[in-house]
Structures are given as structure tokens and as C-alpha cells.
Amino acid sequence: MDTEGDHGSRRGQTGRSVRVVIADDHAVVRAGLTELVSAFGGVEVVGTARDGAEAVAITLDSDADVVLMDLEMPGMDGISATARILAERPGVSVVIFTSFSDRDRIFEALDTGAIGYLLKDAEPDEIHRGIVAAARRESPLAPKAARELVDARGKQSAAQLSDREREVLTLVAAGLANKQIGRRLGITEKTVKTHLTSIFHRIGVADRTQAALWAERHGLVRPPTS
């Protein structure tokens, strides 16, 4: 007998359709999304829900593979419903489907266990690919959501830099060589190299060119002080 994990890992490999539950409190959106998803090849809508509590009940009563979950719903919201579903059926893939692309909501949803995050302005092909990817236990992310995650990672990495490492990185981005950086900061060239090794590790780059580009992207570049 398949375990929940076995069931999830074999989706899309048994030939049966991906079974989807749609949860949205707006009737027009729910109906339109149901019609759209039902037209996708290899996908079957097995239930629709008007709120989080109904989404939980329908998902647990069905053999659903994927839930398209709105965030803002009356009573139990999408975050709470996601937590309830995954507590009972951890093999279900919950994909948040919402109009909100702010960072806090994205992180809250993913921290709760949602496997993906799509926006309601997505093209039909993106929604179809997202459902299929989620059924395979991949993580479909809207481009805006992906950018938020990348930016957040960059800010987290920047926060881990010491004041001296920030100074060194800023001067690298300004085009100064190690010897020039050492003279500017009153430290040895060897110490500059030591700082660079630490910087590369913290921000996840391999060389000073990548470090300079990273610094520009994250607003650390400023004119060198004289």
C-alpha cells in the first residue's frame, strides 16, 4: 500500500489526472478558475471551496493532489487552511493563488508549508505549469514572488556582513585593487584578502567581479571617500 509520500512522488507517473481543489471566496473568480483549470489536459477539478474551512473539509474528503488556495477568505483564511490540510495530509501540494505579492505574505505562506505561490494575473499556461509542477512536488513561483525571495536573501546576506566587510566590498565595487583598499582602510593587503574570502562566502559568490555586481544590486555602492 502506498504511503502518503509514495503517493505524492508518483503523481504524474501513473497516467491519472492531477486532482485539484480550488478555494476562493469570490464566486466569479472561483467559477472562472474552475472552468479554466478543467480545460487543462491531465487536470481534474475535484472540488471547490468558498472559505478555508470548506477547503480543509473538501481536501481531506477527496484524493486531491493540489489545492489552489486563496489567501483572504472569511472565517478561516488561506494560511490557516494550509496549515490544517498539511497537518492531516502532508503529501498534498498547496499552491497559494492570490493577488498579494508582498514579501511578508509570501514568506508566511511558504513557512506554513505551501509549496508554491502564484498570482491571479498569471497567464493560463503559467497556472497549468504551476499545477503540474506542484503535483510533482516542485515549487512553482510567480516571477514577482521569486524576486521577493531573492531580494530577501540578499538583504539577509548583507546584514551578516561586518562593518569592515561592508567597507571592503564597497571599495571592491568601486573598482579598487586589494592594495588600494588596504591603503584606503589602513590595513594590510593580506587582511583585505581575508575579508574578501569571508565576504564571498557570506554572499555566495566566487570572485570579486560577482561580488561587485552583488553590491550594486543591493545598494552598497557609493563613491569612495577621499
Cell representation of residue 59:
481536501
Boundaries of domain holding 208: 158-217
Question: Are 23 and 84 found together in one domain?
Answer: yes
Backbone CA torsion sign across 147, 70, 38, 21: positive
Instruction: Please tell me the pTM assigned to this model.
Output: 0.63
Residue 226 lies in a domain: no
Residue 220 vs residue 211, higher pLDDT: 211
Question: Are 11 and 111 found together in one domain?
Answer: yes
Please list, in sequence order, all residues whose beta carbon lies within 8 angstroms of the beta carbon of residue 2, skipping any fewer than 6 positions away. Answer: 10
Question: Are 211 and 181 found together in one domain?
Answer: yes
Which residue, 116, 150, 184, sits at the end of a domain?
A: 150
pLDDT exceeds cutoff 60 at 213: yes
Question: Are 94 and 173 found together in one domain?
Answer: no
| CATH classification of the domain holding 175 | 1.10.10.10
Q: What percent of the chain has pLDDT over 70?
A: 84
Residue 38 lies in a domain: yes
Residue 210 lies in a domain: yes
Which residue, 125, 150, 175, sits at the end of a domain?
A: 150
Residue 131: closest CA among 16, 14, 20: 20
Residue 104: closest CA among 134, 75, 139, 79: 79
Residue 114 lies in a domain: yes
pLDDT exceeds cutoff 90 at 68: yes
Span 21-54, pLDDT tens digits: 999 999 999 999 999 999 999 999 999 999 999 9
Residue 11 lies in a domain: yes
Question: Are 93 and 168 found together in one domain?
Answer: no
Question: Are 81 and 120 found together in one domain?
Answer: yes
Residue 225 lies in a domain: no
Question: Are 51 and 129 found together in one domain?
Answer: yes
Q: What's the total number of domains in the chain? A: 2
Question: Are 87 and 198 found together in one domain?
Answer: no
Question: Are 82 and 103 found together in one domain?
Answer: yes
* Side chain identity at residue 188, one-letter code: T
Please list, in sequence order, all residues whose beta carbon lies within 8 angstroms of the beta carbon of residue 200, skipping any fewer than 6 positions away. Answer: 206, 207, 211
Question: Are 15 and 63 found together in one domain?
Answer: yes
Residue 224 lies in a domain: no
pLDDT at residue 206 in the model: 82
Question: Are 43 and 136 found together in one domain?
Answer: yes
pLDDT at residue 157 in the model: 55
Question: Are 33 and 129 found together in one domain?
Answer: yes
Q: Which of 39-53, 88-102, 103-117, 184-198 is predicted with the least confidence, judged by mean pLDDT?
A: 103-117
